[in-house]
Copies of this chain bind each other. A is one copy, B any other.
Amino acid sequence: MWRVICFLSLSLPAFAQSGEWMFIDTTFGAEQYARIELKFEGEKITGKFGNLDVAGTLRNDRVELETRRADGTVVTKRTGTLSGGEMRGDGTRDSSPLTWTARRFADKPAERQTHRFEPKEFHRYFSSTIPPALRIFPGDSVESWSVDAGGTDAQGVRRSAGGNPLTGPFYIEGAMPGDALVVRFTRIRLNRNTAFSGARVTASALNAGYFAQQQNVPGFNSEWTLDVPACVSRDAKPTEKLKNYEVPLRPMLGCVGVAPPQQLSMLAGYLGSFGGNMDFNQVVEGSTLYLPVFHPGALLFVGDGHAAQGDGELTGNALETSMDWTLTVDVIRGLPIQNPRLENADYWMASGIANSLPEAVQAATTNLSQFLEEQYKLNANEIGIVLGTAIRYDVAELVDPLVHVVARIEKRALSHVGK
Q: Chain B contacts of A246 at CB under 8 A?
A: 416
Beta-carbon contact of B161 and A30 below 8 Å: yes
Query: Which of A28, A377, A401: most chain B Cβ within 10 A?
Result: A28
A283 within 8 A of B: no
Beta-carbon contact of B209 and A369 below 8 Å: no
Cβ-closest chain B residue relative to A315: B388
A311 to chain B, nearest CB (A): 5
A247 to chain B, nearest CB (A): 4
- Determine the interface band of chain A, counting residues with CB < 8 A from chain B: 35 or more
Partner-binding segment picked from A6-14, A58-66, A216-224, A292-300: A216-224
Beta-carbon contact of B384 and A314 below 8 Å: yes
Beta-carbon contact of B366 and A206 below 8 Å: yes
Beta-carbon contact of A384 and B310 below 8 Å: no
A231 within 8 A of B: no
Beta-carbon contact of B355 and A310 below 8 Å: no
Q: Chain B contacts of A51 at CB under 8 A?
A: none
A260 to chain B, nearest CB (A): 10
A70 within 8 A of B: no
Partner-binding segment picked from A137-145, A167-175, A321-329, A389-397: A389-397
Task: Given A158-B96, A267-B262, answer yes or no on A217-B356 (Cβ-Cβ < 8 Å).
Answer: no
Contact among B151, B356, B388, B393 with A28 in the assembled complex (CB-CB below 8 Å): B151
Beta-carbon contact of A244 and B208 below 8 Å: no
Beta-carbon contact of B241 and A376 below 8 Å: yes
Contact among B125, B201, B207 with A384 in the assembled complex (CB-CB below 8 Å): B201
A90-113 CB mask vs B (1 if < 8 Å, else 0) is: 000000100000000000000000
Beta-carbon contact of A361 and B398 below 8 Å: yes
Q: Give A287-339 interface residues, CB cut-off 8 Å to B.
A: 308-315, 318-319
A165-200 CB mask vs B (1 if < 8 Å, else 0) is: 000000000000000000000000000000001111
The 8 sampled A-B contact pairs (Cβ below 8 Å) are A28-B151, A124-B262, A129-B265, A206-B365, A241-B382, A246-B416, A264-B266, A356-B356
* Given A28-B160, A208-B362, A393-B394, 20 extra CB contacts under 8 A: A27-B161, A28-B151, A198-B388, A199-B384, A201-B380, A203-B208, A204-B358, A210-B366, A215-B379, A241-B382, A242-B418, A244-B417, A245-B385, A247-B413, A312-B393, A314-B365, A319-B389, A355-B355, A355-B402, A395-B405
Closest 9 CB pairs of A and B: A203-B208, A28-B161, A357-B357, A315-B388, A355-B355, A214-B380, A244-B416, A30-B161, A212-B212
Chain A: residues with CB nearer than 8 A to chain B? 27-30, 96, 121, 124-125, 127, 129, 151, 158-161, 163, 197-201, 203-212, 214-217, 220, 222, 235, 239-247, 262-267, 308-315, 318-319, 355-359, 361-363, 365-366, 369-370, 376-395, 398, 401-402, 405, 413, 416-418
